[in-house]
Amino acid sequence: MMERVHLYYDEMDSPVGTLTLLSNGEKLVRIEYGGMDKRSDQMNKWIARFFGDVTFVHSPKNVAIAKKELQAYFDEQNQAFTVEFEFHGTPFQQKVWQALFETISYGDTKSYKDIAVAIGKPKAVRAVGGAVNKNPFSIIVPCHRVIGASG
């Protein structure tokens, strides 16, 4: 049986709506669209899978760096993120997300095929698409900059 885990959160308004930032107390673990009061089923399933029994603690200080960097990004004053974060997903998903973070710079785009090649799985284009769709760090890990081969 898993021990009860504390996840720390705060919300922020952004040009794309309310964002909820989650931390394990040391690193950011997820960015979710919407507020805590309207958590998606996808987020609840993800939390249960990777953290088990959770107590949520409202704690702006635990996500302050992420919030500051995201606000600067939205204000067009930040093009790179330094906040520490931790991926929770399958090993394949983690490879894809790491490749997104490492290979797509501000304003750049990559195709799903480019990412598949970058992780050494050139035929896994559809699987890469599935992993991109489950990216837990939207904006910081630029899944919105991955496009189809035809552009």
- One digit per residue, the tens of pLDDT, for the chain of length 151 reads 557 889 999 999 999 999 999 999 999 999 999 998 887 777 888 888 999 989 999 999 999 999 999 999 999 998 889 999 999 999 999 999 999 888 877 778 888 888 899 999 999 999 998 998 888 898 888 766 666 666 6
What pLDDT is stored for residue 122 in this prediction? Answer: 93
Q: Which residues pair with 147 in a beta bridge?
A: 111
What pLDDT is stored for residue 2 in this prediction? Answer: 58
What pLDDT is stored for residue 31 in this prediction? Answer: 94
What pLDDT is stored for residue 40 in this prediction? Answer: 73
Across 25-145, the runs of DSSP E, i.e. the strands, are 28-33, 54-58, 110-111
Bridge pairing between strands 19-23 and 110-111: unpaired
Number of residues in the chain: 151
What pLDDT is stored for residue 39 in this prediction? Answer: 76
Q: Find out whether 99 and 110 touch, Cβ atoms under 8 Å.
A: no
What pLDDT is stored for residue 143 in this prediction? Answer: 67
Give the integer Cα–Cα distance in Å for 122 and 57. 42
Cα dihedral value 146, 48, 65, 15, nearest 10 = 50
What pLDDT is stored for residue 107 in this prediction? Answer: 77
What pLDDT is stored for residue 150 in this prediction? Answer: 62
Choose, from 28, 118, 139, 143, the residue flagged as catalytic: 143
Q: Is 94 a catalytic residue?
A: no
